[in-house]
Amino acid sequence: MPIYEYECKSCGHTHEALQKLSDAPLVVCPACTRPELMKKISAAGFRLKGTGWYETDFKSGTKKNVAGEANSPAKATKSE
């Protein structure tokens, strides 16, 4: 189930809710109890890494190994 972010237009309170895709959007603010909650658009909180995912399968050149970029500073210190 996805986590949706909401913000109240009246008081500015932000709220996260775990809901099914088929659930109706929330409208009542839990802070001020006014029916002015609006669903926010936000990015997913995870990233798919490793072989088998788009990031490594369809990129070319130096940008292909994004998951291994964290290891590059360690390699640079070994060569010095």
| pLDDT tens, N- to C-terminus, the chain (80 residues) | 788 999 999 999 999 999 998 999 999 999 999 999 999 987 766 666 666 666 555 556 566 555 555 555 544 454 44
Task: Say what the pLDDT of residue 3 is.
Answer: 87
Q: What is the pLDDT at residue 21?
A: 87
d(CA 32, CA 17): 16
| Per-residue model confidence (pLDDT) at position 43 | 73
DSSP three-state, residue 14? strand
How far apart CA 71 and CA 32 sit, in angstroms, is 48
Compute the distance between CA of residue 18 and CA of residue 43 in angstroms, rounded to an integer.
15
Could you tell me the residue ranges of all domains in the chain? Answer: 3-39
Query: Taking the CB of residue 6, how many other CB atoms lie within 10 A of it?
Result: 19
